[in-house]
Amino acid sequence: MIWLGIETSNSPLSIAIVKDGQIVEEIVQNEKLTHSVTVMPTIEELFRKANLNPADLDAIAVSEGPGSYTGLRIGVTIAKTLAWTLKKPLVGVSSLQVLAANGQGFAGVICSLFDARRQNVYAAAYDGETMQPVIQDHHNSIGGLLEQLQLLNTPVLFIGLDAVNFKEVITAQLGNQAIFASTSLALPRGSKLIELAQKQSLPSVEEVHNFVPKYHRITEAEANWIKDQKKGQ
Amino acid sequence: MIFEMEVMSLEETQSLAHRLAQVLEAQDTITLEGDLGAGKTTFTQALAKGLGITRTVNSPTFTIMKQYEGRLPFNHLDVYRLADSDEDLGWEEIFYGDAVTVVEWAHLIEEDLPDERLAIEIYRSGNDKRKFVFKPIGKRYEELCEELF
């Protein structure tokens, strides 16, 4: 069983090829280059190095969000196009779960987060051992997230490049409860994405058409309410 | 507070855009309004040049947004095609990242724009004659205009 994993949900890029549960190729990078010009050449390069053809693939995994709108659209579009043209199933995995998986084994809760700007975050929390979600993927103010985490009353491992943006406020609110993961764990990995995707049942190839990124932005009803409030000012 | 400037030539328009580019910072948002042929594109091209962008800057009407790299990243949006749509293009990422953003037809996404911004209106008063009206919204943009005029 050969998997291709595509992770472009935020500025880092990771592509992996995993064969029968073993990593064959993996690239993890954090360059200030746009995914639109790097993803396809990277995939081609990995196939060439692994001496594989795209047709050899059995399934494709993609990080489905939340994260950067542009990053998600590029990753999901490429994954859908490859899946449909090669007639392979496409599996989506939460980008927060992929990142959190870097901390697996932590005795406590792992909180992965992405900066959603203006003191907001996309975040989730997982049990460090079972990796079951304790707080589901959602969009929240950093303050709102920290209140939820505080109530868990257990050590929290913060993971991700953006965690440092909030280090001060996290430490102020959680004190010793907060632990920051080493920077070598801050980048999501395509191999982790595939590992998580393998736990899901494979959808039919036709389902590729219904695949959309999960932005986890506020609901349309909320957005309209906010707009109405603004108009009324 | 409103700032107005009459320019008599293409070169003066470009010089105004260049001077504006020098004082822009990350997260600055500029809205551009003006009739067809008023010079929104010309102004934006000169602004981009002032930001050190060497790639050709052309209309994002079809793509809605084009992104460029210069002294600062630069987002050029034409939201004409978003009329009557509530589509969320990831506005937070666009306006509150590390880029400078210019939005054409900005009134169509009024509710999604940052509360503070620099509104620029361009009026054509002759062949190469233009009137620029700068309406700063917020302290940051008032100071920016005072520095410019």
Question: What's the full length of chain B, in residues?
Answer: 149
* Domain contains A231: no
Is residue A219 very low, low, confident or very high in pLDDT (cuts 50, 70, 90)?
low
Average pLDDT, chain B: 93
SS3 content of chain A, % helix, strand, coil (to 5): 45, 25, 30
To the nearest whole Å, the CA of B128 is away from the closest chain A CA by 37
Distance separating the N- and C-terminal Cα atoms of chain B: 12
pLDDT of residue A50: 97
A230 falls within a domain: no
pLDDT reported for residue A34? 77
Is pTM beyond 0.95? Reply is no
Contact across the interface for A69 and B96, Cβ inside 8 Å: no
Q: For position B89, what pLDDT does the model report?
A: 84
Q: Which of A35, A70, A140, A220 to mutate to test the interface with B (most CBs of B within 10 A)?
A: A70
A206 in a domain, yes or no? yes
CA-based nearest distance A232→chain B, Å: 11
Going by pLDDT thresholds of 50, 70 and 90, the confidence category of residue B44 is very high
- The Cα B66–Cα B104 span in angstroms is 12
**pLDDT the model gives residue A220:** 59
Same domain, A7 and A17: yes
Give the pLDDT score at B88: 77
Residue A233 has pLDDT above 60, yes or no: no
Q: Are the beta carbons of B90 and A68 separated by less than 8 Å?
A: yes
Q: What pLDDT is stored for residue B65 in this prediction?
A: 93
Which of B93, B115, B137 is the best mutation test for A, with the most CBs of A within 10 A? B93
pLDDT above 90: percentage of residues in chain A = 87
Return d(Cα B5, Cα A35) in angstroms, integer: 41
Quote the mean pLDDT of chain A. Answer: 94
Sign of CA dihedral B13, B19, B20, B22: positive
Say whether both A87 and A106 belong to one domain. Answer: no
CB pairs under 8 A between A and B: 29
Residue A9 in contact with partner chain B when CB distance is under 8 A: no
- Contact predicate A101/A5, CB 8 Å: no
Question: Which residues constitute the domain of residue A91?
Answer: 2-95+188-223
Confidence of residue A118 (pLDDT cuts 50, 70, 90): confident
Structure tokens belonging to residue A29: 């990078």
Share of chain B above pLDDT 70, in %: 100
- The answer to whether the Cβ–Cβ distance between A217 and B88 falls below 8 Å is yes
Mean pLDDT of B102-106: 95
Burial tier of B98 (Cβ tally within 10 Å: 0-12, 13-18, 19+): exposed
Q: Clarify whether residues A87 and A192 are in a common domain.
A: yes
Q: Which residues of B touch A (CB under 8 A)?
A: 67, 86, 88-90, 92-93, 95-97, 111
A215 close to B (CB below 8 A): yes
Q: Which of B67, B86, B89 sits opposite A69 (nearest CB)?
A: B89
Local confidence band at A221 (pLDDT 50, 70, 90 cut-offs): low
Tell me what the mean pLDDT of segment B129-134 comes to: 95
Given this model, what pLDDT does residue A223 score?
A: 67
**Block residue for tokens 């947004």:** B65
B-chain CB neighbours of A34 within 8 Å are 67
Q: Give the minimum alpha-carbon distance from A214 to chain B in angstroms, rounded to a whole number.
A: 12
Q: Are residues A117 and A65 in the same domain?
A: no
Distances (CA, A) of A199 to A61, A91, A195, A215, B121: 11, 10, 7, 22, 56
| Residue B111 confidence (pLDDT) above 90 | no
Cβ distance B92 to A220 less than 8 Å, yes or no, reads: no
Residues A165 and A196 in one domain: no
Tokens at B39, concatenated: 């010079």
A74 and A106 co-located in one domain: no
Give residue-wise pLDDT tens across range A151-209.
999 999 999 999 999 999 999 999 999 999 999 999 999 999 999 999 999 999 999 99
Question: Does one domain contain both A196 and A177?
Answer: no
A33-42 pLDDT, tens digit per residue, is 778 889 999 9
Task: List for chain B the helix, strand, coil content (%; round to 5).
Answer: 35, 30, 40
Residue among A159, A26, A161 nearest A102 (CA): A159
Contact (CB, 8 A) for B96 and A118: yes
Task: Look at chain A and report how many structural domains it folds into.
Answer: 2
Q: Kindly indicate the confidence band of residue B127, based on its pLDDT and cuts at 50, 70 and 90.
A: confident
Structure-block tokens of residue A14: 């990771």
Nearest-CA residue of chain B relative to A230? B111
Cis peptide before A89 (omega within 30 of 0): no
- What is the domain-level CATH number for residue A127? 3.30.420.40
Q: Is the CB of B86 less than 8 angstroms away from the CB of A217?
A: no
Residues of A in contact with B92 (CB under 8 A): 116-118, 120
Comparing A141-145, A203-207, B109-113, the range with the smallest average pLDDT is B109-113
Provide the 3-class DSSP secondary structure of residue A162: helix
pLDDT score for A198:
97
Do A51 and A20 meet the contact criterion of CB atoms below 8 Å apart? Answer: no
The complex scores an ipTM of: 0.72
Measured between alpha carbons, how far is residue A46 from residues A17, B36, B97 in Å?
A: 8, 48, 31
Answer whether residue A164 is part of any domain. Answer: yes
State the burial class of residue A221 (Cβ atoms within 10 Å of its Cβ: 0-12, 13-18, 19+): exposed
> Residue A93 above 60 pLDDT?
yes
Do A91 and A120 belong together in one domain? no
Look at B131 and A224; give whichever has higher pLDDT: B131
Write the pLDDT tens digit of every residue in B49-101. 999 999 999 989 888 999 999 999 999 999 998 887 777 788 888 999 899 99
A134 with A81, same domain: the answer is no
Do B92 and A118 count as a contact with CB atoms less than 8 A apart? yes
Contact call for residues A13 and A39 (beta carbons, < 8 A): yes
A228 lies in a domain?
no
Phi, psi torsion values for A175, nearest 5 degrees: 55, -130
Co-location of A169 and A196 in the same domain: no
> Cα(A163)–Cα(A160) distance, rounded to whole angstroms?
6
For residues A171 and A202, membership in a common domain is answered with no
Instruction: Look at the domain B3-148 and name its fold.
Output: Rossmann fold (3.40.50)
Query: pLDDT grade, residue A122 (50/70/90)?
Result: very high
So what's the pLDDT on residue A229?
Answer: 77
Quick check: is A207 in a domain?
Answer: yes
**Whether residue A129 is found in the same domain as residue A201:** no
